[in-house]
Chain A
Amino acid sequence: MALAKLREMLDKKEISAVELTQQYLDNIEKRDKDINSYITVCAESAIEDAKKAQNTIDSGNATAFTGLPISVKDNICTLGVKTTCASKMLEDFIPPYDATVMEKLKASDIVMLGKTNMDEFAMGGSSQTSYFGGVKNPYDTSRVTGGSSGGAAASVAADLCAAALGSDTGGSVRQPASFCGVTGLKPTYGAVSRWGLIAFASSLDQIGVIAKSAEDTGYLLNGIYGYDANDATSSKKSEGNYTSLVGSDVSRLKIGVPKEFFGDGLNDEIKTAVLNAVEYYKKLGCEIVDVSLPSLEYAVSAYYLISSAEAASNLSRFDGIKYGLRSGLGEDFNDLIKNSRREGFGNEVKRRIMLGNYALCSGYYDAYYKNATRIRTQLKEEYASIFEKCDVMLTPTAPTTAYKIGEQENDPVKMYLADIYTVTVNIAGLPAISTTCGYDSKGLPIGMSLIGRAFDEKTIIAVCDRFEKDFDRKEAVL
Chain B
Amino acid sequence: MRYQPVMGLEIHAELLTDSKVFCTCQNEFGGSENTRVCPRCSGLPGTLPLLNHDAVRLAAKAGFATDCTVNNYSAFDRKNYFYPDLPKAYQITQFEHPICTDGHITVVGGKDIRINRIHIEEDAGKLVHDDYEGISMADYNRCGVPLIEIVTEPDFRSIEEVQDFVEQIALRLKYAGVCDARMEQGSMRVDVNISIMPVGSTEFGTRAELKNLNSLKAIGRAIEYEINRQSEILDNGGTVVQETRRYNDNHGDTKALRSKEEAHDYRYFPEPDIPPVLISDEDIQSIKDSMPEMPQERFARYTKEYGLPADDANLIISSKEFSDFYDEAVAINPDYKQISNLMLVEVNRQLNDSQLTISDVKYSPADLAELVKMSSDGVVSKNAAKDILKIMFDKGGKPQDIAKENGFIMDNDASGLEDIVNQVIAENADSVESFKSGNQKVFGFLMGQVIRLAGKGANPKMAKDLLTEKLK
Contacts and interface: CB of A to CB of B under 8 A. Distances in A.
Q: Does A touch B (CB under 8 Å) in the complex?
A: yes
Interface of A: 76-77, 83, 85, 90, 93, 95-97, 99, 194-199, 201-203, 229-233, 309-310, 312-313, 316-319, 321-323, 333-334, 337, 357, 360-362, 365, 369, 373
B45 A95 contact: yes
Contacts of B270: 373
Contact of B87 (A85, A202, A322, A337): A322
Contacts of A95: 44-46
B89 A232 contact: no
Contacts of A337: 82
Given A203-B272, A232-B51, A232-B273, 15 more contacts: A83-B46, A95-B44, A95-B45, A96-B39, A99-B46, A230-B48, A231-B48, A233-B275, A309-B269, A317-B43, A318-B45, A322-B44, A333-B84, A361-B267, A362-B265
A199 B42 CA distance: 15
A93 B89 contact: no
A316 B90 contact: yes
A233 B43 CA distance: 18
B273 A198 contact: no
A198 B48 CA distance: 10
Interface of B: 39, 42-51, 78, 80, 82-84, 87-90, 136, 138, 265, 267-270, 272-275
A93 B46 CA distance: 12
A194 B45 CA distance: 11
Contacts of A231: 48
Contacts of A334: 82
B48 A194 contact: yes
Contact of B45 (A199, A232, A313): A199
B50 A319 contact: no
A313 B265 CA distance: 13
Contact of A199 (B46, B87, B136): B46
A246 B41 CA distance: 43
Contacts of A230: 48, 50
Contacts of B84: 321, 333
A199 B44 CA distance: 11
A321 B272 CA distance: 24
B97 to A, nearest CB: 14
A322 B42 contact: yes
Given A195-B48, A313-B78, A313-B267, A232 B275 contact: yes
Contact of A229 (B43, B47, B50): B50
DSSP majority for the B interface? loop
B68 to A, nearest CB: 25
With most chain A CB atoms within 10 A of its CB, the pick from B44, B51, B265 is B44
A319 B48 contact: no
A323 B89 contact: no
17 contacts: A83-B46, A90-B45, A198-B46, A199-B45, A229-B50, A232-B48, A232-B50, A233-B272, A310-B269, A313-B78, A316-B80, A317-B89, A321-B138, A323-B44, A360-B267, A361-B267, A365-B267
A197 B90 CA distance: 19
A97 B46 CA distance: 10
Contacts of B88: 316-317
Given A232-B51, A313-B78, A317-B88, A322 B43 contact: yes
A313 B81 CA distance: 9
Top 7 A-B pairs, shortest CB-CB distance: A316-B89, A202-B272, A360-B267, A203-B272, A198-B45, A77-B46, A196-B46
Contacts of B43: 317, 322
B280 to A, nearest CB: 19
A338 to B, nearest CB: 9
Contacts of A201: 272
A200 to B, nearest CB: 11
A319 B45 CA distance: 12
A376 B275 CA distance: 16
A328 to B, nearest CB: 15
Contacts of A229: 50
Nearest to A338: B82
Contacts of B83: 333
Contacts of B87: 317, 321-322
Contacts of A309: 269
B265 A202 contact: no
Nearest to B50: A232
B45 A317 contact: yes
A194 B46 CA distance: 8
Given A313-B80, A316-B80, A195 B267 contact: no
A202 B274 CA distance: 10
With most chain A CB atoms within 10 A of its CB, the pick from B44, B45, B273, B274 is B45
A321 B82 CA distance: 11
Contacts of A96: 39, 44
Contacts of A90: 45
B90 A313 contact: yes
A360 B42 CA distance: 25
A85 B46 CA distance: 11
A316 B136 CA distance: 20
A310 B269 CA distance: 9
Contact of B39 (A97, A199, A312, A357): A97
A181 B107 CA distance: 73
A77 B42 CA distance: 16
With most chain B CB atoms within 10 A of its CB, the pick from A76, A196, A232 is A232
A111 B22 CA distance: 33
A140 B49 CA distance: 43
A311 to B, nearest CB: 11
